[in-house]
Amino acid sequence: MASTVVFLLVRRLLAVLGLGHRADEKDVEIAVLRHQLAVLRRQVARPRYTPSDRMLLATLAQLLPRPHWSAFLVTPATLLRWHRELVRRRWTYPQQRRGRRLEDATVQLMLRLARENPRWGYLRIVGECRKLNVQVSATSVRTVLRHHGLGPAPRRTAGPNWSQFLRAQAQGVLACDFLTVDTVTMARLYVLFFISLDRRHVWLAGVTAHPTTAWVTQQAATSPTSSARADRTSS
């Protein structure tokens, strides 16, 4: 605060001597507001903010460079936490309703089919239930069997599991997924990235606000992963 007052006094002195411009009204107003802010900081240890105040300050904090965040009464960590809360409230999806509760007779039928036919899988049990005019899903069958301590049907043929298969084929397998980034205006951007399973190299394919099948196909065709796989195939 003292440096601001000294700066304004110097500018005033130069203006009187005709060596500089007259102090702008905005500079004086900013100096007054800064001094009043310093007075409030001495009087109020922890100010209280309404939800609208938090929303406004969190939005302005994203527009203001971090070196100037000292103008806020709260710490930078608090401003970032407020912004995360805004993002969480903006993208809070309604909870999905639970499915209907299965009747006891249906549960007993599934358990009987599973115990009397240990080679039958979930889909086979679903098909047999439909023959008896009982409509169930594979997810319901799996949930019921697991709840009663019955695992999936044993393998008919011996072979590698998924972990062994992925380790053997890791050199030629690429994984892809989306991550999301929320902007200051609460707009959500989708980032498409690829990763090679053998070396764990990551490629950022593109960023868009509206991912479509055509856009993903185009990014996959033009990304470095396509040329890398072509080189491996030719070698």
| pLDDT tens digits along 33-74 | 666 666 666 666 666 777 777 777 777 777 777 776 666 666
Query: Which whole number is the average pLDDT over 213-233?
Result: 70
Residue 216 counted as domain residue: yes
The answer to whether 191 touches 204, Cβ cutoff 8 Å, is yes
More confident residue, 176 or 222: 176
SS3 204: strand
The predicted pLDDT at position 8 comes to 56
Give me the residues paired with residue 195 across strands.
175, 202
Residue 219 counted as domain residue: yes
The predicted pLDDT at position 235 comes to 47
Provide the domain limits for residue 204.
170-234
Residue 7 counted as domain residue: yes
The predicted pLDDT at position 156 comes to 47
Query: How much is the pTM?
Result: 0.42
What does the mean pLDDT of the chain come to?
75
Which pLDDT band, with edges at 50, 70 and 90, does 233 fall under? very low
How far apart, in whole angstroms, are the C-alpha atoms of residue 120 and residue 153? 6
In which order are the strands placed within the sheet that holds 188-196?
Answer: 174-182, 188-196, 202-208
| Number of structural domains the chain divides into | 4
Residue 135 counted as domain residue: yes
The predicted pLDDT at position 209 comes to 92
Residue 160 counted as domain residue: no
Q: Would you tell me the crossing angle of helices 122-131 and 104-116 to the nearest 10 degrees?
A: 120
- Statement to judge: residues 114 and 134 lie in one domain: yes
> For tokens 């023959």, what's the residue?
131
How far apart, in whole angstroms, are the C-alpha atoms of residue 227 and residue 232? 9
Last residue of a domain, one of 9, 24, 45: 45
Residue 59 counted as domain residue: yes
